[in-house]
């Protein structure tokens, strides 16, 4: 039986955590007058004081804010502020991508990475070509690749390949990045193809040794640390810029400023040529299993008459989506979205075209009216989504696609950001953060059993547009904006928990 909490009980509990009305009435979470309903609609408060706009104005957040909350069961809109204002959704867009993939691919879809051969293995020897063929798996890592090479030796019995080592990444379009306006070095904006590894990131590590530095570039995963040459680093005698990138043809060519290194350190850098990166690591791991392969050769189409030697299948889509929504991995969202578009329309030309297909699907399937996403992760500057459309999609997906269990628990917090683990109001949601952009969308479960869907988007777009490319990794004022926006989100969640519990 659901425990019953009165509004007075919740208000008292919030006050105890610094979320209710203080004696001086300074908390933006508390009304300056008592909450007196002017009427009731199906058991929910229809109007109250102070207005939502006052709470938002008191937050003093620069730019625009779009907010809506509605009852999931009835669809009744309970409260809104500029609900039609379309703003960048940031990673909240991944919830739309998850719904798209669930509907088009199904929750049990698995990505396949295959080893093919143009000739059978006889007495351990393949007198033909070996082919590494990607199937768009966004979560393949070095440990999984090692298990494939081990199976090639132990299950398929392959010990020698006399022909070429061919690599096919054509299951998805080959992209050098998601958003071309991002800084070169940010790991959340990697290349994408039908063959991906370690979220298409390479681990760069440096250690001072006398007057010089020892530098490694590796594809680490678990206990494995295979070094790679598909991404190369050179230390340059300068202080800035910290990193530069150039296309080296068959490899990624990086430089780093000596003056920025210090004694030691490490970071993940994006891989722009994921097929070549994966192929090199596969070649190294195959050699550790006694299989010597020739230099990898990229191919545009798979040859006819091949034989499947080993097939690696990812975990099911539902599990991948749950991790994507928790850790907000951009490459996962893009690979899943592109794969769904291929299944939906039979072709994928560009990332923008794939997003357009998803937008059309969202209007038809989720009842959205003006969704305009330019990718599947929310990273791009030109994506736009309103709070009204997000709430519509959440309610539709809650009923038809069971999106709610995939969302992450979102703790209610005190004003000093301490989580309240035993709070009677439960929130599951997807967050989204870009420079001077913040979003949150999901569900609120109230103690009386009422279920709400909500969306919040904020953005100071002029300030975001004024940033140089170099400033986009850690812009001045960016962190302060994010903190203020999250505080406003928490005040809204606390407000709705108080007002709409029956």
Q: Calculate mean pLDDT across residues 40-45.
A: 38
pLDDT digits (tens, 9 = 90+) for 409-430: 999 988 888 888 888 999 999 9
Residue 188 CA to residue 94 CA, distance in Å, equals 14
The more confidently predicted of residues 244 and 37 is 244
In CATH, what is the architecture of 111-314?
Answer: 3-Layer(bba) Sandwich (3.50)
At residue 42, does pLDDT exceed 50? no
Residues whose CB is less than 8 angstroms from the CB of residue 447 and which lie 6 or more positions away in sequence, other chains included: 2, 3, 4, 5, 10, 424, 425, 501
Q: Is the pLDDT of residue 3 over 70?
A: no
> If we measure between CA atoms, which residue out of 331, 333, 361 comes closest to residue 345?
361
Q: Which of 23-32, 64-73, 381-390, 446-455 has the lowest mean pLDDT?
A: 23-32
Q: Nearest-5° angle of CA 406, CA 412, CA 417?
A: 120
CA 237, chain centre distance (Å) = 36
Please check whether residue 299 is in contact with residue 166, taking contact to mean a CB–CB distance below 8 angstroms.
yes
pTM metric for this prediction: 0.90
Residue 175 has pLDDT above 90, yes or no: yes
Reported as type and span, the H/E element at residue 201 is: strand 201-209
- Give dist(CA 146, CA 221) in Å, integer: 10
Report, as an integer, the average pLDDT of 252-263.
Answer: 96
pLDDT tens digit string along 292-320?
999 999 999 999 999 999 999 999 999 99
In the numeric block, which tokens belong to residue 211?
């007057």
By residue count, the chain amounts to: 502
pLDDT tens profile 345-367 = 998 889 999 999 999 999 999 99
Mean pLDDT value across the chain: 90
Model pLDDT, residue 190:
98
Intra-chain end-to-end CA distance of the chain, in Å: 15
Q: Is-contact 372 359, C-beta < 8 A?
A: yes
Q: Please, what is the Cα angle at 263 between 257 and 265, to 5 degrees? A: 75
Q: What CATH number does the domain located at 7-89+384-499 have?
A: 3.40.710
Cα 196 to Cα 138: distance, rounded to the nearest angstrom = 6
Q: Are 245 and 253 in contact (CB under 8 A)?
A: yes
- In the prediction, which pLDDT does 419 show? 86
For residue 79, the cross-strand partners are 69
Query: Are 295 and 154 within 8 A, CB to CB?
Result: no
Picking from 204, 203, 239, the residue whose alpha carbon sits closest to that of residue 222 is 203
For residue 154, the tally of other CB atoms under 10 A from its CB is: 10
The residue-averaged pLDDT of 100-113 equals 98
User: CA triplet 115, 119, 123: central angle to 5 degrees?
Assistant: 95
Token pair of 182 as six digits: 């991002």
CA torsion sign for 470, 476, 477, 482 is: positive
| Per-residue pLDDT at 328 exceeds 90 | yes
The residue among 427, 154, 462 whose CA lies nearest residue 291 is 154
Checking phi first, is residue 247 left (phi over 0); if not, alpha (psi -120 to 50) or beta? Answer: beta
CB-count burial class (<10 Å; 0-12, 13-18, 19+) for 378: buried
Q: Is 457 left (phi over 0), alpha (psi -120 to 50) or beta?
A: beta
pLDDT of residue 502: 65
Q: What is the pLDDT of residue 405?
A: 97
How large is the average pLDDT for residues 476-482?
95
- Coil vs helix vs strand at 149: helix
Q: Region 175-182: what's the mean pLDDT?
A: 95
Could you tell me the CA-to-CA distances from 12 to 52, 218, 238 in Å, in that order?
Answer: 21, 54, 58
Closest CA to 425 of 341, 329, 336, 496: 496
- Cβ-contact 403, 382 below 8 angstroms: no
Distance CA 466, CA 479 (A): 16
Query: What does 338-383 look like in DSSP terms, one character per residue?
Result: HHHHHHHHS----HHHHHHHHHHHHHHHH--SS-B-SSSSS-STT-
Domain ranges for the chain: 7-89+384-499, 111-314
Q: Within its chain, how far is the Cα of 181 from the centroid? A: 18
Residue 239 backbone zone (phi > 0: left; psi -120 to 50: alpha; other: beta): alpha
Read off the pLDDT of each residue in 432-460 and give the average, rounded to a whole number: 97
Question: Which residues, including other chains, have CB under 8 Å from residue 387's CB and lie 6 or more apart?
Answer: 66, 67, 68, 80, 81, 82, 83, 85, 455, 456, 457
Token pair belonging to 311 = 């097939």
């Amino acid at each position: 039986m659901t425990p019953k909490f009165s509004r007075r009980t919740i208000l008292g509990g919030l006050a105890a955590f610094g979320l209710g009305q203080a004696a001086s009435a300074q908390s933006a979470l508390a009304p300056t007058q008592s909450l007196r309903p002017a009427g009731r609609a199906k058991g929910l408060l229809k109007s109250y004081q102070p207005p939502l706009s006052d709470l938002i104005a008191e937050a003093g957040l620069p730019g625009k804010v779009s907010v809506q909350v509605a009852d999931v069961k009835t669809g009744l809109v309970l409260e809104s502020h500029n609900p039609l204002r379309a703003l960048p959704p940031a990673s909240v867009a991944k919830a739309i991508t998850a719904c798209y993939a669930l509907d088009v691919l199904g929750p049990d879809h698995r990505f396949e990475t295959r080893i093919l051969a143009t000739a059978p293995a006889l007495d351990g020897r393949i007198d033909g070509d070996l082919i590494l063929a990607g199937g768009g798996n966004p979560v393949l890592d070095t440990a999984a690749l090692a298990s494939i090479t081990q199976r090639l030796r132990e299950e398929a019995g392959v010990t020698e390949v006399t022909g070429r080592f061919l690599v096919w990444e054509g299951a998805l379009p080959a992209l050098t990045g998601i958003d071309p306006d991002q800084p070169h070095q940010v790991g959340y904006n990697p290349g994408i193809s039908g063959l991906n590894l370690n979220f298409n990131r390479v681990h760069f590590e440096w250690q001072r040794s006398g007057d010089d530095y020892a530098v490694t570039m590796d594809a680490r995963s678990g206990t494995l640390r295979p070094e790679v040459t598909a991404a190369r680093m050179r230390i340059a005698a300068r202080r800035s810029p910290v990193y530069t990138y150039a296309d080296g043809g068959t490899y990624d060519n990086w430089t780093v400023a000596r003056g920025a290194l210090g004694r030691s350190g490490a970071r993940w850098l994006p891989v722009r040529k994921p097929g070549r990166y994966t192929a090199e690591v596969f070649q190294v791991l195959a050699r550790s299993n006694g299989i010597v392969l020739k230099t990898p050769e990229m191919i545009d189409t798979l040859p006819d008459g091949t034989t499947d030697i080993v097939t690696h299948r990812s975990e099911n889509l539902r599990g991948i989506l749950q991790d994507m929504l928790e850790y907000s991995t951009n490459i996962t969202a893009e690979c899943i979205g592109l794969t769904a578009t291929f299944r939906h329309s039979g072709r994928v030309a560009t990332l923008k075209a794939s997003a357009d297909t998803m937008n059309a699907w969202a209007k038809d399937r989720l009842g959205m009216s003006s969704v305009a996403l330019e990718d599947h992760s929310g990273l791009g500057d030109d994506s736009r989504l309103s709070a009204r459309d997000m709430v519509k999609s959440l309610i539709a997906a809650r009923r038809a696609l069971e999106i709610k269990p995939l969302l992450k628990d979102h703790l209610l917090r005190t004003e000093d950001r301490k989580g309240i683990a035993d709070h009677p109001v439960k929130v599951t949601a997807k967050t989204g953060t870009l420079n001077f952009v913040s979003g949150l969308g999901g569900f609120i479960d109230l103690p009386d059993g009422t279920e709400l869907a909500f969306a919040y988007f904020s953005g100071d777009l002029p300030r975001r547009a004024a940033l140089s490319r170099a400033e986009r990794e850690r812009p001045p004022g960016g962190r302060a904006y994010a903190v203020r926006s999250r505080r406003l989100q928490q005040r809204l969640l606390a407000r709705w928990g108080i007002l709409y519990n029956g």
